[in-house]
Amino acid sequence: MKCPLQNRLVSFTPGKYSYEIGDCRPEDCAWWDTENEQCALCTLASAGWLLNKELLELTEKMPKEFQFRDRMEERMITGDYNEL
């Protein structure tokens, strides 16, 4: 596995650069997540992705503004405010 924290710049010219990514060394790494047996950056990325997925599903289930507006206009016309 490659470590995103161990980047080495190999060459640089204006507008173009290249670098090498070092190998992962879990036994020496302070970023190693022993519980999930992976780099903590990968754990954070996975957690962020799952949180984003949950939030997207939640927003899809939420009623839209026009649904509230239509009900409010109907109540104003009929005078029925008991459902509020």
- CB 57 within 8 Å of CB 63: no
> What is residue 50's predicted lDDT score, i.e. its pLDDT?
92
For residue 20, what pLDDT is reported? 78
State yes or no: pLDDT of 26 exceeds 80: yes
Strand positions, DSSP E, the chain: 2-13, 16-23, 32-33, 38-39
pLDDT digits (tens, 9 = 90+) for 41-76: 888 989 999 999 999 999 888 877 766 666 666 676
**Length reported for the chain:** 84
| Structure tokens, 48 | 């962020």
Residue 52's alpha-carbon distances to 47, 58, 70, in angstroms, are 9, 10, 30
Number of neighbouring beta carbons within 10 Å of residue 45: 13
